[in-house]
Amino acid sequence: MRLLQNSHLFVLSLVGLLLVGCIYFGYTSAWFRYAGSRSGVADRLSYKQPSILNGRKDVITVTPWLAPVVWEGTFHTTLIDAIYKMQNITVATTVFALGKYVQFLKDFLESAEKHYMQGYRVHYYIFTDQPEAVPTVTLGASRSLTTLKIPSSNRWQEITLHRMERLEKLIETQLTNEVDYIFSLDVDTKFYGHWGVETLGDIVAVIHPGYYSTPRDDFPYERRSESQAYIPYGKGDFYYGGAVIGGRVEKVHKLAKTCRMQLDVDKANSIEAAWQEESHLNKYFLYNKPTKILSPEYLWQDTKYITPDIKIIRFSQVIKNYAKVRPNP
Ligand code: UDP
Ligand code: MN
Q: What per-residue string of b and e applies to 307-329 under the rule 16 or more CB within 10 Å gives b?
A: eeebeebbbbbbebeeeeebbee
Does 39 have pLDDT greater than 60?
Answer: no
Q: Whose CA is nearest to atom 12 of ligand 1?
A: 186
Task: Give tens-digit pLDDT for 268-322.
Answer: 999 999 999 999 999 999 999 999 999 999 999 999 999 999 999 999 999 998 9
Tell me which ligand sits closest to the C-alpha of residue 324. 1
φ, ψ at 18 (rounded to 5°): -60, -45
Average pLDDT over residues 133-154: 97
Number of CB atoms found within 10 A of residue 103's CB: 16
Residues marked active site are found at 278
Question: Which residues touch 7 (CB under 8 Å, ≥6 apart)?
Answer: none
pTM: 0.88
Mutate to test the pocket of ligand 1, among 101, 162, 163, 302 (most ligand atoms within 8 A of CB): 101
Alpha carbon nearest to ligand 1 atom 3, residue: 98
In this prediction, residue 88 carries a pLDDT of: 93
Of 246, 289, 283, nearest in space to 263 by CA: 283
